[in-house]
Structure 1
Amino acid sequence: MVEGAGFRPALGDRRGHRLYYLKPVAQDRRTDPWSALLDAGREDGRLVREAREGPGRATLVKPPAELHPDVLAALARQEIEHLYSHQADAVHSAWKGPTIITTGTASGKSMCFNLPTLDVLCRDARARALYLYPTKALAHDQARALAAFGLSKRVRPAIYDGDTPRETRAQIRRTANVVLTNPDMLHVGILPNHPAWADLFANLAIVVIDEAHVYRGVFGSHVANVLRRLRRIAAAYGTEPRLLLTSATIANPVELAERLTGLENVQLIAQDGSPAPDRRMSVWNPPLTDEALGARRSALAEAAELLAELVREGARAICFMKSRKGVEVLSRLVKQALEDSHPELADRIAPYRAGYTPQQRRELEGRLTRGELRAVITTDALELGIDIGELDAAVVVTFPGTVASLRQMWGRAGRRGRGLAMYVAGEDALDQFFCRHPEDFLERPVEAAILDHESPLIFRQHLLCAAHEGPLWGGDGEFLGPRWEADAEVLLSAGELRRRPAHAAGEEEDQLPESAGRGGLTSSTYVPRRPGSYPAAEVSLRSASPESFAIVDVSSGELLGATEATRAHSTVHEGAVYLHLGRSYEVRELDLDRRRALVSPFEDDWYTQPKRQTDTEIVRLLDSRQTLGVTLSFGEVSVTETVLAYQRRRLSDHAPVDLVPLELPPTSFSTQALWFELDAEELEESLPLDALLGSLHATEHAQIAVLPLIAMCDRWDIGGLSTNYHPQTGAPTIFIYDGHPGGIGISRTAFARFEELCEDAQRLIAECPCASGCPSCVQSPKCGNLNEPLSKNGAVALLERMLQAAAEPAVPAGL
């Protein structure tokens, strides 16, 4: 395509394919299944921006000649004469050391780790490999891919997860040389029972960590510790496996790989040699229904109309939704839209989400790969690299949380050469921010994945698990980090560990073999105080705190799950409407003594929002600087919350129904936070007290709303507090803190990029067309004060004053 008037190359495209932004007119008159739909969107203004990516040619090379002859023969049997250049680069890199591959969706990343794995297995009959996947569907997909090589005499893959029948597990441990599992099973089923897996660990040559970008935040911080424990156990059996990772495009792939694994000098393969389809990208905003309130047509209704039209016109489509309930509702709406005019197509629409039985999941995946379905509506279960055949269109309903996830989902479109990638905005602040700045949205760099394996509560839980797997000793710093002993001393004081003298023999808790470097320990070690315990079973990889409340459905007796103790009062208080896997439940009782919430299925048309009182205490200042005319600080804080009441609101229009008082004790947790202090005298001159409180509060909301733009997190991972006077700072202060005990690095990132955070927050509010604040700018769905008071104009003025201070010349210290 020739650049000319109306076209400009995009910024920051790592793949080497050129991306062009088009004028809002029909530049390309070729007819696609979506042509009429996009024409209609241009005419009525719902299509706010278009872009085109590709097409791009593949860069092909011969498979590395050094591969084992059987592997080369297997490629030939599959009629694979060439590899994409990045696949060959990845093979060579894997032979040298740990590697992360970050090429695009559908670029054949699996081949990047399958080839070096098969090469090792063909050369060494005793070698073993371990593949880690975040979902069961991915593991099954990869098992099929390995079987396709036809190397059954040398390669014996087996899936080992919660669905694996117990009677086959012993056989898998004995015979499988590629074990496909997930971090949860590795954490709770394999590492604590490593003697039963001795053959695997004694011959472990390769560990594959697929979709590594999923491992961020709390989950990533846990998985980083699980991988350190894995390396520690492997070393005890005398092996040092090569770690290979794949990831969607993120801002910090090497940093993520090194933080996840604890290794240094991880090599990056990012130059994509696969072909890029001719993909049309569209940003679609449902029409306003009430301009003053900023209300828009439901994104669900809009998406149902779009999907039905795409299916009628012959497109094969995938649609991504955040919630399981949304998946079911949208599936039903699309089927209803098709039943009158095209009833034969209605049966070819299917939802795919969590909660299916293994048999149901396999059946749906089979229909997808065979092309029997015309549209599938899914949660992020299919965001990842499962091969589901050729798709024409990918529709994402509301912002999925990160630009990286959006691009991963959009990458599903165009498997047949041409495709449509569509984003349907909701009324949330970020959605409307992107609709007002579609160029910024489409060009925006992907976010950095954040995790902190040394987050104190998380790290100590895994330190206890590691001690159960084998005594902790001085040499463990190589795996657990140089500061592990300080945390071991904390566990010692808490009565969780005990110190064992050097050369103590006959201790049954020492399960590790005496391999090189461990035999004949000459210093004291740390061992569990209760050797018969099973600490891994008490550690959820999705929770930062070991203390939790069970959630029990009283209608069936089923244990639905658990929630962190620090969140229980606000999420499962008596009367709360609780959402689990897309289904609604009403909390009948919160039993504080037994640490459980009793719930029952709920069908009414309202939801609940807690009213909380929050206090913060600064515990330790870690960093501070002057910027934007404020004093900005970062450190450790203690957050105390008291749930005072809850408000019921109608689902249809979010109008309040009533306010129900509660009597609950306060809860506290320690975490990390940034806070900034403003000049009280300057603010009081321009703002009366009520306006000051509303301005600070609205500023806090806007900053939390846009924080996911610079850190891969959800606004529910972040908390905030604004006050006209804080007793420790003596000034008006806004706090933004990690919502998980101990912190996971979110507020640290916000501290480092505070100026960017303020710029985005100011744009979010100032450009919203509402009169006095709405869900698209300063109102928050999680506000503990029920969005009172809020001053949109005051927040704009406050942020503009701060940004203006950045443009003024600095005054030298001492003048």
Structure 2
Amino acid sequence: MGTVASPAPAAQAGLAASLHYSGQGRSPAGRIGLRAIDPERYVIFDVSTSRVLEEVEANKAFYVVYDGAVYLHQRTSYVCELLDLGERVAYVRPTRAKYYTSVSDVTDVHVTGSKVAYPTPREALAAIQARRGGMGGGGGPGGVKTEAGMGVKSEAGGEGLGVKVEVKDEEQHEGQQAAVVPGWAAQHPASGDGRGLTAPSDGDGGSSSGGDGDGDGDGDGDGGGDSSSSGGSGGGGGGSSACCESCYVTVRFLGYHTVAHGTGEILDSVQLFLPDSQWETQASYVRLPPTARRRCRDAALDFREGVHAAAHAVLNALPLYMVCNPSDVATECDNPYDTRYRPERLLLYDKHPGGIGLAAQATPLFPELLRRALALVTECPCPYHRGCPACVQHLDCKNYNAVLSKAGAAVVLRAAIEQEERHAAGHGPREGGA
């Protein structure tokens, strides 16, 4: 057998100079937690063995530990006897309870409109535009034709979605009176991705969660009106009115239910007194045109249910375009007992503080996401009013998939797709509250 030649003396000296011994107890890997990326954490302490079970991120802690919570760790159930908010320690003890606990909460997303920390790279937007042109007018996977009578026809080729639009007179000039303020796209005309377009709104578009009451600023009495910029910082590509902006997510914890194993019967409901959890992240959204509410009203469908179901469908379609899971991205879920105002929009937000870039990455994909979501809804054979997990239900819905309408989702998604096609055809972004 041949012998392996040893490195030259000069190479040995250089190798020795680049290495140093850190010692057995000085390895930095021992000080870095891989289970949690949030520096603010709660410690779960087992009082029966006086050992730490694990650490939970602060923005997720109140979902798993609170006074009376049943906490599962490595197949062993523990009951939380005390949650020390000051020390951020949850004291638990093993239990053989025949039930589990489920927290009840309300989540609000407030879009602030500032620039995102992770703008979509220009190269990625250019690749998406090229792919749309190659697929013949942005049909995308699962491309869906709009139903007859809505006056929208697609042609292959062209930039953005590559569509030719024929709309009714009442819809053709809808939202076209806003002055478009040149932003990122005007400063970078060579890129052609159209980010940064901003359209001051005149307040058309708002929904009252208490019902389908009409009254927005479009003159036909629909909805209610808050105002926001049309395509804020880091907005979508030239073929989309979607925009990505910073937002604050606030979670208010109302109480928890004790649920029996096996039967799912709710045994008890207990009120909680916990501080709100709030963090800043990023959200990508498109506003819905007033025609979505009108068509739901004409079809005797609940608009709130349609918007909630459509948002679920978009969220279900997202993993087809990027690697993510329910712990990474979420949407706004409607509560059946909530009577607050909710903006008329389809929104996705990063569930991690500061954002992880998924919402920004989804912004230029919104037209394709809408089409794929409509395909999920229309092609699903389930006959249920509230759909199923294959179309408009989502396993991570905080309101247990209440306030859903599969038929309403199809109406809302078609209206949103038509708005994107009008935008791609050069009619500009429409106004409305975010």
Pairing 1:118-129 to 2, within 5 Å after superposition: 123-124=6-7
Matched, 1:756 2:368: yes
Aligned to 2:385: 772
Task: Give the superposed CA RMSD.
Answer: 4.2
Pairing 1:348-747 to 2, within 5 Å after superposition: 539-619=32-112, 620-621=114-115, 622-625=233-236, 631-652=241-262, 654=264, 656-679=266-289, 681-687=290-296, 691-721=302-332, 731-747=343-359
Q: Secondary structure at the match of 1:797?
A: helix
Q: Which amino acid aligns with 2:262?
A: S
Q: Secondary structure at the match of 2:394?
A: coil
Superposed displacement of residue 601, structure 1: 3.2
Q: Classify 1:632/1:572 alpha carbon distance in 2 versus 1 (closer, same or farther; 3 Å).
A: same
Q: Which amino acid aligns with 1:771?
A: Y
- Alpha-carbon distance between aligned partners in 1 of 2:10 and 2:368, rounded to the nearest angstrom: 49
Pairing 1:177-326 to 2, within 5 Å after superposition: 203=15, 238=18
Superposed displacement of residue 123, structure 1: 4.1
Q: Which amino acid aligns with 2:293?
A: E
* From 405, 414, 422, the counterpart of 1:800: 414
Q: Classify 1:706/1:814 alpha carbon distance in 2 versus 1 (closer, same or farther; 3 Å).
A: closer
Q: Secondary structure at the match of 2:332?
A: strand
Q: Classify 1:636/1:69 alpha carbon distance in 2 versus 1 (closer, same or farther; 3 Å).
A: farther
Q: Classify 1:797/1:683 alpha carbon distance in 2 versus 1 (closer, same or farther; 3 Å).
A: closer
Q: Classify 1:658/1:793 alpha carbon distance in 2 versus 1 (closer, same or farther; 3 Å).
A: farther
- Listed one character per residue, the Cα deviations across residues 420-449 of structure 1 (whole Å, up to 9, x for unaligned) are xxxxxxxxxxxxxxxxxxxxxxxxxxxxxx
- Listed one character per residue, the Cα deviations across residues 592-639 of structure 1 (whole Å, up to 9, x for unaligned) are 1110122233444543332222222323143123788x7411122221
- Alpha-carbon distance between aligned partners in 2 of 1:126 and 1:735, rounded to the nearest angstrom: 62
Q: Secondary structure at the match of 1:737?
A: strand
8 Å contact kept, 1:547–1:565: yes
Q: Which amino acid aligns with 1:559?
A: V
8 Å contact kept, 2:43–2:56: yes
Q: Classify 1:814/1:627 alpha carbon distance in 2 versus 1 (closer, same or farther; 3 Å).
A: closer
- Alpha-carbon distance between aligned partners in 1 of 2:411 and 2:89, rounded to the nearest angstrom: 46
Q: Which amino acid aligns with 1:687?
A: C
Superposed displacement of residue 546, structure 1: 0.6
- Listed one character per residue, the Cα deviations across residues 276-301 of structure 1 (whole Å, up to 9, x for unaligned) are xxxxxxxxxxxxxxxxxxxxxxxxxx
Superposed displacement of residue 705, structure 1: 3.2
Q: Classify 1:790/1:608 alpha carbon distance in 2 versus 1 (closer, same or farther; 3 Å).
A: farther
Q: Which amino acid aligns with 1:664?
A: L
| Greater share of helix | 1
Q: Secondary structure at the match of 2:361?
A: helix
Q: Classify 1:574/1:698 alpha carbon distance in 2 versus 1 (closer, same or farther; 3 Å).
A: farther
Structure number with greater CO (CA < 8 Å, separation at least 6) is 2
Q: Secondary structure at the match of 1:716?
A: coil
Aligned to 2:404: 790
- Listed one character per residue, the Cα deviations across residues 321-348 of structure 1 (whole Å, up to 9, x for unaligned) are xxxxxxxxxxxxxxxxxxxxxxxxxxxx
Superposed displacement of residue 545, structure 1: 1.4
Larger gyration radius, structure 1 or structure 2: 1
Q: Which amino acid aligns with 1:757?
A: L
Q: Classify 1:770/1:814 alpha carbon distance in 2 versus 1 (closer, same or farther; 3 Å).
A: closer
- In structure 2, list runs of 5 or more residues that go unmatched: 116-232, 430-434
Q: Which amino acid aligns with 1:124?
A: P
Superposed displacement of residue 743, structure 1: 1.6
Q: Classify 1:631/1:575 alpha carbon distance in 2 versus 1 (closer, same or farther; 3 Å).
A: farther
8 Å contact kept, 1:648–1:656: yes
- Alpha-carbon distance between aligned partners in 2 of 1:697 and 1:814, rounded to the nearest angstrom: 26
Q: Classify 1:704/1:648 alpha carbon distance in 2 versus 1 (closer, same or farther; 3 Å).
A: farther
8 Å contact kept, 1:616–1:637: yes
8 Å contact kept, 2:292–2:416: no
Q: Which amino acid aligns with 1:718?
A: V
- Alpha-carbon distance between aligned partners in 2 of 1:788 and 1:808, rounded to the nearest angstrom: 32
Q: Which amino acid aligns with 2:350?
A: D
Superposed displacement of residue 659, structure 1: 3.3
Q: Classify 1:238/1:695 alpha carbon distance in 2 versus 1 (closer, same or farther; 3 Å).
A: same
Q: Classify 1:814/1:751 alpha carbon distance in 2 versus 1 (closer, same or farther; 3 Å).
A: closer
- Listed one character per residue, the Cα deviations across residues 297-320 of structure 1 (whole Å, up to 9, x for unaligned) are xxxxxxxxxxxxxxxxxxxxxxxx
8 Å contact kept, 1:540–1:546: no
8 Å contact kept, 2:282–2:350: yes
8 Å contact kept, 1:703–1:761: yes
- Alpha-carbon distance between aligned partners in 1 of 2:358 and 2:39, rounded to the nearest angstrom: 20
Superposed displacement of residue 778, structure 1: 3.2
Q: Which amino acid aligns with 1:625?
A: G
Q: Which amino acid aligns with 1:697?
A: H
Q: Which amino acid aligns with 1:796?
A: A
Taking structure 1 as the reference length, what is the TM-score of the superposition? 0.33
- Alpha-carbon distance between aligned partners in 1 of 2:313 and 2:42, rounded to the nearest angstrom: 31
Q: Which amino acid aligns with 2:91?
A: L
* Aligned length, in residue pairs: 301
Superposed displacement of residue 708, structure 1: 2.8
